[in-house]
Amino acid sequence: MSGHEAARLDEARAWLRQDPDPETRDELAGIITRAGSGDAAAIADLEDRFATRLAFGTAGLRGELAAGSNRMNRVLVAQAAAGFAAYLSEKAAPGTVPAVVIGYDGRKNSRVFATDSAEIFAGAGLRAILLPRLLPTPVLAFAVRHLGADAGVMVTASHNPPNDNGYKVYLGGADAGSQIVAPADAEIAAHIERVAEQGDVLGIPRSTVYATAGEDIVDAYVAATAAVAPAPLGTAGLRWVYTAMHGVGWDTFSRILGAAGYPAPWTVSEQRDPDPTFRTVSFPNPEEPGAMDLAFAKARTLGAELVIANDPDADRLAVGIPDPSAEGGWRRLTGNEVGLLLGWRAARAATAAGPAAPGTSLACSLVSSPALRAIAERYGLDFHETLTGFKWISRAPGIAFGFEEALGYLVNPETVRDKDGISAAIALLGLAAEARGRDATIADLLDELAREIGSYASGQVSIRVEDVSVIAQIMAALRQDPPAAFGESAVAVVEDLLTAGGDAPAGDVLRYRLADGSRVIVRPSGTEPKLKVYLDVRAESAEAARTAVAGLDASIRELLARLS
């Protein structure tokens, strides 16, 4: 065994001594025993688990549940909670006690991580408030603002694979309940690192003297969300299907439906209740192929008009509509299609009584459809384009609505400054019911919007990798030798947002503006081992736009195949 391998073994033994979780302790003890006897696979496993720390990044922490500094576990969560507590105490005004709200979903260890956090926050002298039971992420985001808390933590991995979990951090006060951004993320990470360097989470002070919020916080969220779009005329006969994707959305959403006056849906019973194994889907993300198959099957059988899905923590919304040209007669709307419908709704609401208040804006991430800008211009609203992620979108000045193409929508910024799949579902149901009242459908609404602003189409090419270094290699190759064209469309302008400067948001993003007005954007995913390419086209007709996207798609796939 080399000196490096021996040092890694000592590091693993030190981790084992402070691990309070019998499951991960037993797991790690077995690996240490095998590594100590020279087992090459065990030695490599330790290297993977301890060569680095799980990065405190885009959404706090997120990763696979297992022992080690590069995994999600009780040691890492204790370090994160203690570091975050130190940050909040450092930033608190003299004589004040910071308050932090903690929520959790139905994934494995979510409640354990939340309880550990509450005890550590309380042990640090903070006012810790644990939500009363497993709840959607938007309820936690709501609670931060509703309670006037200084911060919030949501234990969730959203739509990640079953054996993942995460630690999502929000700030109150001037941040208005949004997710953390720089410099707070780096400052919190530095505090966490100092706790980790002490090497003993068992010595972190804890207290069971923390508050557990009452059901009134859920009642308040239900009331606020039902008010987003009370059921209009034409709602009573609406036939629709809902799936919670094995997550925590149904209990809260069903109450809101009743309060808002919408008819109850048929539910996909196999996916309605929380299940940390996500047993009916290979990947619990409504964007993934096959994830909505059970919902579409039920819709076909029962003659539904609409399918609505939330992801497991209910911060995303997916929508399906009948489409005779699609396989099985149903298709999922893209995130851009839903976002543009909801943006159109927000623009009309903002100008219903006359010109909108100065500064009222629509916002979306830079990889989302440029058609939202067209809607903003059509209705005299400001428009803001941000980096990907709702920590940026939610901070757009004067925001009335924001979205990103990855099924995230912010429709109620005065109460939730984050994506919220439940309030977005209520807003979408309102649109569907209003259309139904005049014998129109969601598909008809998309056609009406195209007549107002023109025909836009979007596409996405996504490649998942086992080795994330492949993504860096592809990005480097594209920077070193930029493509001159995609298919028959020449590249007019190349923008590297790592070095763009000016008003452009900075990030690891390559944006190609094509001579025909189309746009191609390439970026690594911030939460998954994926490279994503976004395609956007405006054309004279919907058919021409779809044809142009298909051509770009084929060209991009050919290019990526060569580079990878």
As annotated, the active-site residues are 158
Alpha helices in 335-401 (DSSP H): 335-350, 371-378, 390-393
In angstroms, the CA 37 to CA 304 distance is: 61
Distances (CA, A) of 481 to 443, 557, 559: 41, 17, 12
Question: Checking DSSP bridges between strand 164-171 and strand 151-155, what pairing results, if any?
Answer: antiparallel
Element of type H or E holding 534: strand 530-539
In angstroms, the CA 192 to CA 90 distance is: 13
Nearest CA to 449 out of 308, 321, 558, 347 is that of 347
| Per-residue b or e along 40-78, where b marks 16 or more CB atoms closer than 10 Å to that residue's CB | eebbebbbebbeebbebebbbbbbbbbbbbbbbbbbbbb
Q: Strand, coil or helix: what is 371?
A: helix
The residue whose two tokens read 């939730």 is 416
Q: Copy the structure tokens of residue 301.
A: 């059988």
Q: Copy the structure tokens of residue 132.
A: 């009363």
Nearest CA to 230 out of 253, 257, 251 is that of 257
What is the separation of C-alpha 368 from the centre of its chain, rounded to a whole number of angstroms?
A: 14
> Helix, strand, coil % (nearest 5) of the chain?
40, 20, 40
In angstroms, the CA 531 to CA 541 distance is: 30
